[in-house]
Amino acid sequence: MSKDMSYSGVMSRRPEIMKKAAGVDFSLFESGSIAFDYERMMREAGFSIEEIQKIQLEHGVGNTPILELRNLTELARKCAPEGKGARIFIKDEAANASGSFKARRASTAVYQAKKLGYKGVVTATSGNYGAAVASQAAMYGLKCIVVQECYDSHGKGQPEIIEKARKCEALGAEVIQLSVGPELFYLFLTILEQTGYFNASLYTPFAIAGIETLGYEIAMQFREKYGKDPEVVLATNAGGGNLTGTARGLKKAGAESKIVAASVDLSGLHMAADTQFNKKSFTTGHTGFGMPFTTWPDRSDVPRSAGRPLRYMDRYLTIRQGEVFYMTEALASLEGLEKGPAGNTALTAAFSLAQEMNQDEMIVVQETEYTGAGKHIQPQLSFARENGIEVKFGDPKEEVPGKNIILPSHPSMIKAQDADLDHMRKSLIKNAITTYNVTPNDADIEFLAEETKTDVEYVKNVLKSL
């Protein structure tokens, strides 16, 4: 008897498709309520830091350099109060085989697929992860399919996404491009079921474990070169895996650096709305992903996401599109480094944050990415103009996502804004109660305290208010 391949039919088989394709039985970690055993899930990924380092170094990943941005630090100090202006560094993840930190996630995911005997891997992403999976799959001799949400209903695709599709194809992947909408996940599940390939999801414990080496390297490199840990590690935040893996690696190294998230403020734009899909100039690292995934990580393509950023972040900063474009140009013209938009999101926040910190303190942007034809400022701004977005110099505070992009008239105008972490913690607790529709037991309350980086008393008070 043939399977029901309708949308409802495929979606009804989601749990069994995911279980077969992920190589993980997530039910082993479930409690039947809100809580699940996160640390056990991560342990049973089966990788130590040393094992991951070995896997990565044999496949062109990891051991990337730390670069100090002396000229941008000096510029920050000119804008800062006297005695302020922390030293700014970047971890140059563009040195990885596929040109971004996503190679770390892909290295462990594809290794696991090969180890378990899968013939190929599938990933649903419009970003650098597709190229990373394609690169690692080529090294392991596996097939690779990348499903990409690319166009609006008029067939118009964003330059950065088209750029990434070219890179995926160049690395040997089959790229399936779709318009924005619910068909992405339906087709993804269909391909997994029909091919029997491995789900190289961004959010499995394998993928997050692969990023732990990034945080671990930062701690070890700073200690070796500067004799201490950086005061702040700043991570661009979208789905939360980047920040989670880095924070876990720092923790395993015994570092006490503050973990700060950064996202481009795209408030007011709906990421899945056809009419607004091309009104944004950033495909990742923005609040359209960062906020929802922070307040409910399990909206990802696995039953329980291993990326859980609110457990680790000490602060969440937002910056504007025009500020990131400005900082991208400043990095190139002052430091001689061309980097893509994702890492430059965190760099822009770092430029602002450094002005609050003392000059003897250090702040490191924990990743950079490659740049290319579709990622440069010019095609992005040209595409914005084609879609009715006004581009001008002025005060970035007046920027309205979907209406204009305002490049700062002076670097002193670059000011990161604090997101309300307390509000986000309360949202996560509310989402948990709504999703599972249970009266939380003691284990649930302890779990929610860990999820929100608070304590049992805090969670109980929030539950009373709900």
Instruction: Indicate whether 327 and 378 sit together in one domain.
Output: yes
Calpha distance 51→115 (Å, rounded): 14
* % of the chain residues with pLDDT over 90: 81
Q: Do residues 363 and 390 both lie within one domain?
A: yes
pLDDT of residue 1: 58
441 located within any domain: yes
Work out the average pLDDT over 14-25: 85
Q: In this model, does residue 271 exceed pLDDT 90?
A: no
**Higher pLDDT pick, 458 / 372:** 458
Pair 293, 283 in one domain: yes
d(CA 371, CA 378): 12
In the chain, % of residues over pLDDT 70: 100
Considering the domain architecture, whether residues 443 and 352 belong to the same structural domain is answered as: no
Q: Based on the fold, state whether residues 104 and 89 are members of the same structural domain.
A: no
Same-domain pairing of 182 and 82: no
466 or 173, greater pLDDT: 173
pLDDT score, position 16? 86
Instruction: Using the predicted structure, report yes or no on whether residue 333 has a pLDDT greater than 80.
Output: yes
Mean pLDDT of the chain: 94
Mean pLDDT of 90-119: 96
Q: Give the mean pLDDT of 154-170.
A: 90
Could you tell me the residue range of the domain that residue 128 belongs to?
7-23+100-204
Q: What is the CATH number of the domain that holds 120?
A: 3.40.50.1100
Asked whether residue 119 falls in the same domain as residue 150, the answer is yes
Q: What's the mean pLDDT in 236-260?
A: 97
- Whether the per-residue pLDDT at 442 is higher than 70: the answer is yes
Strand pairing of 174-179 and 87-91?
unpaired
pLDDT digits (tens, 9 = 90+) for 281-309: 888 899 999 999 999 999 888 889 999 99
pLDDT at 185 (0 to 100): 84
Q: Given this model, what pLDDT does residue 111 score?
A: 96
Q: What is the mean pLDDT of residues 329-358?
A: 97
Are 413 and 425 contained in the same domain?
no
Q: In the chain, how many domains are there?
A: 3
Q: Is residue 34 part of a domain?
A: no
Alpha carbons 165 and 174: distance in angstroms, whole number: 9
Domain ends where: 159, 179, 204?
204
Q: Strand 417-418 and strand 315-319: pairing?
A: antiparallel
Residues 200 and 210 in one domain: no
**252 and 338 housed in the same domain:** yes
Question: Do residue 86 and residue 104 come from a single domain?
Answer: no
Closest CA to 17 of 184, 194, 159, 167: 194
Task: State which of 147, 174, 204 marks the end of a domain.
Answer: 204
Residue 272 has pLDDT above 80, yes or no: no
Q: What is the pTM of this model?
A: 0.96
Can you give the pLDDT at residue 100? 96
Split at pLDDT 50, 70, 90, the class of 25 is confident
CA angle 174, 179, 180 (to 5 degrees): 120
147 part of a folded domain? yes
**Predicted confidence (pLDDT) per residue in 311-325, tens digit:** 999 999 999 999 999
If you average pLDDT over residues 108-136, what whole number do you get?
94
